[in-house]
Amino acid sequence: MASTLSQLQFGRLYAVRAKVLRRYKHHSLLWCLNGLYGCRWRRQESRTQPGDCCCNKCEGVSSALLVAAFCLTLVFLYFWAHAKNDYNDFDWFNFGNLGFWFPWSVVLLVVTAAFFTYISVLMLLALCLLSEGQELYLHWGHKVGVLVTLTFSIVATAVLTDLWGEEWETLLLSFQITAPYLHVGGVLLMTVLAWPIALHFCRLKGKVRRGLMVGFYLIFLLILYLLPLGLYSPCIKDKRTLGPAPALIGHRGAPMLAPENTLMSFEKAVEAGSEGLETDVTISFDGVPFLMHDRTLRRTTDVREVFPNRTKTSAAMFTWAELQRLNAGGWFLSDNPFGSVGSLGAEERQRAANQSVCSLLDFLQLAARTHKLVIFDLYRPPRGHPYSMSWIQRTLEVIQNESSILSSQVLWLPSDLRSLVQETDPELQQTSGSRLPLEVLQRNHIVKVNLRYSDVSARLVSEYSSVNISTNLYVISQPWLYSLAWCCGVHSVTTNNPQLLSTISCALVLWVRLWS
């Protein structure tokens, strides 16, 4: 009697399993799936039997490579999308090596997105075939595509890590903003995969295979649910404790709206609401400090047409009269470094095309009229230059004797001869470009630190603030990075995008709203 009852129970279990494994034949759908995935448009679909593997060993390797390509391409796409803040630096680096400007950063983003879309479609097709109990057969053309995508992801990751490894720090910072969204997306993805995995579980006969499948799924799910316990962000706080928004300092002006380091660029930065202006200062051969970021004039002037034999000559080796002959705006319209030229009107384009090299005096006078702070890098002239030993003194002469700017408006960043500068003009706001111990900063009368955005934490900002040292971060142009700096309590940021950041009235603190 007991044996008969046991047989009936097992019979019911097998019946339930048979119902679960039952498939309604969607001939058109299966024909399309097999055609797209394996290019088997004229073949009859091959259904696997319960307990059989979904593919042979060769196709198993192809499936593993497909999953690897998907994961690596996804990571690289996320990484490069969040590196957008520094695209201009990437293109500038390539200009220095190649000698011409090209938006390599955008091209790399588009290529990565195309590869990821292609691999994602193949992954979706594979999941659909598995859910329909079909045997996987990836066409050789797709196998080549998977290998190309995988190779691209590996090579691109390796090259960027070698040349631009510090950008991975931006990736880690991005998690402090995007982690909640990524976590919710991961949970939804695992929920969607639960049904195909359950169907495949019922198809398997071996207990070991079943155990491994369920085990891996549950372990991954457990890790996913425990991840929030390890998340940290300075934005996880009561929204009422959020301090004032960081002040904006225009990086070389407003370089998305006008040619960098020109008067037009700084005027645009003032119009956009910048409280400070940042630039780079070089001394001409006859002692006139002027604004130029690069060591040469190739990128931002028409030196190739005016002085074709001096394109690689240091900018400091030109006289001021020679520099005045150069056009410093035409390159902006032709190279379109930020892809923003299209937003300019005809009058603004004409004005940009007629910009010339700007002197430090004109820059300081603009800041004096508009009551803006200024901060600048000061480049020492090369050997053989008449001012190679007195470039600091010459710059101070312009600030103190030739311009009408107040010394208190100048954030003095150069570290050379700092003690002499402090003694000469104690009203200058001494600013450090390095992370130094508090006692060293105080000994040098530092009132502000100017650091790369990835070098600062909320704890460090708090430590500096405790001894009345404010913090400025460079270069922040994306809203999510600006929000993160805001949550850290940063006092000001140098930006390429003051026209956008000035419109942000509240930090992107969704976490605050969820956790408060």
358 phi and psi angles, rounded to 5 deg: -95, 135
Q: CB neighbours of 430 closer than 8 A, spacing ≥ 6?
A: 412, 418, 421, 422, 444, 445, 446, 447, 448
pLDDT digits (tens, 9 = 90+) for 225-261: 888 887 778 887 777 788 899 999 999 999 999 999 9
Longest dimension (CA), the chain: 112
pLDDT digits (tens, 9 = 90+) for 261-271: 999 999 999 99
379 phi and psi angles, rounded to 5 deg: -90, 130
- Chain mean pLDDT for the chain: 88
C-alpha dihedral, 223 to 226 to 229 to 234, nearest 10°: 60
pLDDT digits (tens, 9 = 90+) for 161-207: 988 888 999 998 999 888 888 888 888 888 888 877 777 777 677 77
Asked if 463 contacts 483 with a C-beta cutoff of 8 angstroms, the reply is: no
In the predicted model, what is the mean pLDDT of residues 66-90? 95
Asked if 256 contacts 482 with a C-beta cutoff of 8 angstroms, the reply is: no
What's the pLDDT at 511?
45
First to last CA, the chain: 63
The alpha carbon of 205 is separated from its chain's Cα centroid by a whole number of angstroms, namely: 48
Residue type, 335: D
3-state secondary structure 400-421: HHHCCCCHHHEEECCCCCHHHH
pLDDT higher than 80, residue 17: no
HSE-up of residue 29 (Cα within 13 Å, Cβ side): 11
Indicate the pairing of strand 276-283 with strand 289-291.
antiparallel
pTM, 2 dp: 0.86
In the predicted model, what is the mean pLDDT of residues 293-308? 97
pLDDT digits (tens, 9 = 90+) for 271-280: 999 999 999 9
pLDDT digits (tens, 9 = 90+) for 495-511: 999 999 999 988 765 54
pLDDT higher than 90, residue 406: yes
pLDDT higher than 50, residue 515: no
What's the pLDDT at 420?
93
Question: How does residue 59 score in pLDDT terms, banded at 50, 70 and 90?
Answer: confident
